[in-house]
Structure 1
Amino acid sequence: MGGESMTRDASLKLGAAGLVAAGLALSSGMALADAYPERPVEMVVTFGPGGGADVMGRQMGRLMEKPLGVAIPVSNVAGASGNAGLTHLRTNPADGYTLGTLISLTVASWASGLGDSKPEDFRVISVVQNSPSFLFVSADSPYQTAQDLFDFAKANPGQLTVATSGYGTQDDVTLKLLAGGGVKMENVPFQSPGERYASPIGGHTSVLYEEPGDVAQFLKAGQLKPLVVFSMERHPAFPDVPTSAELGHEISGLDNFRSIAVRADTPPEILTRLEAAILEATASADWQKFCTDTYSCIQPVTGDAAQKMVTDFLQLVSKQLAS
């Protein structure tokens, strides 16, 4: 009896101790969430100034300042198809004071062997933009239709040059898939987004691979013309532009998504605060105008679904490169 009583007392004490520990952990997490952020939060843009990732990162940072109550300065850490900036993000403390842009161009580069990052190194807070890519030419190009362009490329392999964001990105993957179908064009990477956008207009390249939102100003000015969209369906904003599938090239799923991410081991209480701030930002009138103007509006993807979107995209690109 005495032994049973002592055992029961010990169990009760252990149970009570566990409840106390759980309570302390909960209160500690709540305190962390209440205190965060106490100073400015850095937004690392993984590409150079003026590009789509840069514009998105700056817009998102500006709109997140109000819900978080601190300044969010932007740092452009460009290079290696976005991998240089992700290394900066990955090597900073997992305390929520360093955010970064994680976009599909960089994820595609992992499948090509660039960089040493992987999806599980990061926690994707939210995917906030998505858009299929197009091939654009200058308004006075001799190739006024996609069929004209593809016919010339087939007859003259490698003579046409395409301005891209880099090797290993989905730009590069798409060109390889086209080459496999007989449309061989030369990849010409540009680190500067502005120079890339202007290259076909200035005659430095024949074609541009890009999303319409990133070159909206050139489209509105009539300087660039879209020829083909890499999607299973025509783009609602460009209903006269055929899909690659219509031209005999089944290339889809390589849309350019953009997300905001942190290190994978960032405390969950901070992730919750950041997700709430992003959702408030994307619900704002300013963001809605921005995404409409850049043809990139989507319902924000958060949590496990956002993480899965990155891993699925990496698997898709890896499979296409292996085929």
Structure 2
Amino acid sequence: MRAFRKTTTAALGVAVLTLSACAGIDTSGSGGGLLGEFEPSERQTMIVPMSAGGGSDLSGRAIASGLEEVTGRTMSVENQDGGGGAVGYANFLGLQGNASHLLATETALVNLGLTQDVPFNWESFTPVMKVGQDSTVVVVKSDSPYDTCPDVVDAAKEGKVLAAVSGGATGNDAIQFGLIEKDQGVAFQRVPYESGGEAIAAVLGGHVDVGLTNPGEVIGQFESGDLKPLCVIAEKRYEYEELADIPTTVEQGIDVTFSQFRGVIAPGGLTDEAVDYWVDASKLYVKTEAFQEYMSSNYMQVDTAFGSDFAAYLKGYEAELKAGLG
């Protein structure tokens, strides 16, 4: 049985309609039309519970810009990093019933409730939109002696392999390295970093042997040859031309898969009208060219879900992650 499998993928080539095709839809947020009667405040805030510059920050800013376009409301972005996302989520918990704030969410929403003593879990909030999934690539410096993920595993069996870990002891990096350790019967020496950017800088600087990253964050280093991708922690390869040659963990005999979802949540305790407003706005956003551009430029796998469907996804994701960590 695989330690963890959540790699549902929809082809990026799915037809994406532009917002201009939604003729006659009122996107002013002032009532009437698809967005309903709820009227949000003129200024909204998108909280990113991670530091600036990483995948979560890129996602939050792209979605905030897109929602700003379809609602006509100003949406500022506020980074509240710390504790692998725990600080931002805990602060967000205090915004119960406040429809003027959203949060750019990802796997930490579920991870934190399972692995840390935090005052929340995903059910503390209101699921709004899942935009898709972001598989992790195992990377090394270009002159590394390792050419495959089994090379790294074999080295760990024989001695010390320094692995860069961002997001804390229970963040995505730690979970993924832990699943590989469990599957392969090895141990990595983990070196903690505050952010994914710092972790990749450590790989590039030769301070650690191996790191994990999302391809959208390092495609430039792949193209320049500064970083060497070894495998994708997934069952299926990326379909993007630039990434299609990278083999998967499953292909290389490592029975572990892991995909990080990205999306948006609202505080708990919102009125039905407020929830409907943000779900409808999100459905408009994914029909825009801006959404298509964000997904393709960041090499994301399109797999949308809204409202109750996103909640059902999170429930299943939590169950599978719990089983994998067990």
Q: Same fold (TM over 0.5)?
A: yes
Runs of 5+ consecutive residues of structure 2 not aligned to the other structure: 1-30
Would the aligned equivalents of 1:135 and 1:228 in 2 still touch at CA under 8 Å?
Answer: yes
User: Matched residues in 2 for 1:264 and 1:63: separation?
Assistant: 23
**Secondary structure of the residue that 2:97 maps to in structure 1?**
coil
Q: Give matches, 1:1-323, under 5 Å.
A: 34=37, 36-156=39-159, 158-180=160-182, 181-237=184-240, 238-252=243-257, 254-322=258-326
Letter in 2 for 1:225: K
**Secondary structure of the residue that 1:166 maps to in structure 2?**
coil
**Secondary structure of the residue that 1:62 maps to in structure 2?**
helix
Would the aligned equivalents of 1:110 and 1:168 in 2 still touch at CA under 8 Å?
Answer: no
* Count of paired positions: 291
Of structures 1 and 2, the one scoring higher in RCO (CA 8 A, sep 6+) is: 2
Please list the CA deviations of residues 49-70 of structure 1 after superposition, one character each: whole Å capped at 9, or x if unmatched: 0011111111111111122222
Deviates more, 1:202-211 or 1:234-243: 234-243
**1:117 Cα deviation from its structure 2 partner:** 1.2
**Secondary structure of the residue that 1:298 maps to in structure 2?**
strand
Would the aligned equivalents of 1:125 and 1:261 in 2 still touch at CA under 8 Å?
Answer: yes
User: Matched residues in 2 for 1:105 and 1:210: separation?
Assistant: 15
User: Matched residues in 2 for 1:189 and 1:142: separation?
Assistant: 23
User: Matched residues in 1 for 2:38 and 2:112: separation?
Assistant: 37
Would the aligned equivalents of 1:163 and 1:205 in 2 still touch at CA under 8 Å?
Answer: no
**Secondary structure of the residue that 1:48 maps to in structure 2?**
coil
**Secondary structure of the residue that 1:300 maps to in structure 2?**
strand
Please list the CA deviations of residues 87-110 of structure 1 after superposition, one character each: whole Å capped at 9, or x if unmatched: 121101413111012211342232
User: Matched residues in 2 for 1:190 and 1:235: separation?
Assistant: 27
**1:33 Cα deviation from its structure 2 partner:** 5.2
User: Matched residues in 2 for 1:56 and 1:173: separation?
Assistant: 21
Runs of 5+ consecutive residues of structure 1 not aligned to the other structure: 1-28
Please list the CA deviations of residues 105-132 of structure 1 after superposition, one character each: whole Å capped at 9, or x if unmatched: 3422322124221121011100013122
Please report the TM-score for the alignment, with normalisation by the length of structure 2.
0.83
Q: Which has the higher helix share?
A: 1
Please list the CA deviations of residues 196-234 of structure 1 after superposition, one character each: whole Å capped at 9, or x if unmatched: 222201112211112212222322332212101111222
Would the aligned equivalents of 2:38 and 2:274 in 1 still touch at CA under 8 Å?
Answer: no
User: Matched residues in 2 for 1:151 and 1:95: separation?
Assistant: 51
Q: What is the Cα-based RMSD across aligned positions, in Å?
A: 2.1
User: Matched residues in 1 for 2:254 and 2:148: separation?
Assistant: 15
- Rg bigger for which structure? 1
User: Matched residues in 2 for 1:301 and 1:128: separation?
Assistant: 7
User: Matched residues in 2 for 1:115 and 1:221: separation?
Assistant: 41
**1:35 Cα deviation from its structure 2 partner:** 5.0
User: Matched residues in 2 for 1:256 and 1:173: separation?
Assistant: 11
Please report the TM-score for the alignment, with normalisation by the length of structure 1.
0.84
Percent of pairs with identical residues: 25
